[in-house]
A and B are shown apart, each in its own frame.
Chain A
Amino acid sequence: MTLDSAVRIIALAPDLLGTYGDAGNVTVLAQRLRWRGFPTEVVEGIGRDVPDSGDIYVLGGGEDGPQALAAREMIESGALPRAVERGAVIFGVCAGYQLLGCSFLDTDDNVHAGLGLLDCTTVRGTGPRNVGEVVANIGTLLPGHVLSGFENHGGVTTVGGGATPLATIVAGNGNGDGSHTEGAWSGRVVGTYLHGPVLARNPDLADLLLEWVVGPSAPLADADATAEALRAERIQAAGGSRRRA
């Protein structure tokens, strides 16, 4: 294969959205591609300078101020709506999930416009931050898969009719709007509140995103045995030690 055919992963605003180890999601996607022999390139999309050539765009979690700045810059860049048009994959975590939606609120209750790529809106929760292990059953996107991750957010997200909740909560809060759902997806745009990083904890979800780019590929049984042991441990822990901060 030539370099032109390399799968291109864009780490979006890693300088603003990278508080909770979410850079690991890019590491996981890139490694799974490399282990399967696909030439892979990771490019950072900083500021308004977001490449149009990405196959997968990944957004991480971040604090309020940087999140608002990232949203403004991404809206101005316009690269993400064009990417969705092309059929590229967009994956957002926590603050990155919120800014894929229509709007979100910061700690001072200022409303910020999101990218509008997912039909959901986020407001501030009135209770304590949602902090702890989450277990949720993924719906139509990956039927039968149990999602495992760690949430840490004060936002409450309501998914509208134009998107579908990613999963149904078993333990934890997720979207936190009373619907007992977690995350949202629409087409090839997927958002979740879960860190971990979530793709390290959920290789099936990582492979689904990759399948949208390179087609179905063989499982990575050896690597995923390690991940499976971690998943089992964390899913069990979520049952007993859920705590609020």
Chain B
Amino acid sequence: MKIVTLIKTMLGLAPNCEKVNQFLGDYMDGSLPENLRTQFEEHIAMCKCCKPYMEQYQRTIEWTHDCRCNELPEELVEHTISFLRKNADYPQS
């Protein structure tokens, strides 16, 4: 860690790892305010712990997205409609 950032962190002027960890979700969805984002990025760039942690956190999100189920059962819609026609009490008007 750069000495200036290290001193700032020790004095509580810059976020430590725990604080950075709390910001992670907001950072990812872009809702972290500008001033915090700069501090956050300065910390991540130099921290041997937070850098790999954030990369893994980001990968976890991407890989979760990749696990979407893309194969649908055959005639899923047709089966649902015929189930409804059989069971739903469609009102007359």
Q: Do A and B bind each other?
A: no
Which residues of B are in contact with A by a Cβ distance under 8 Å? none
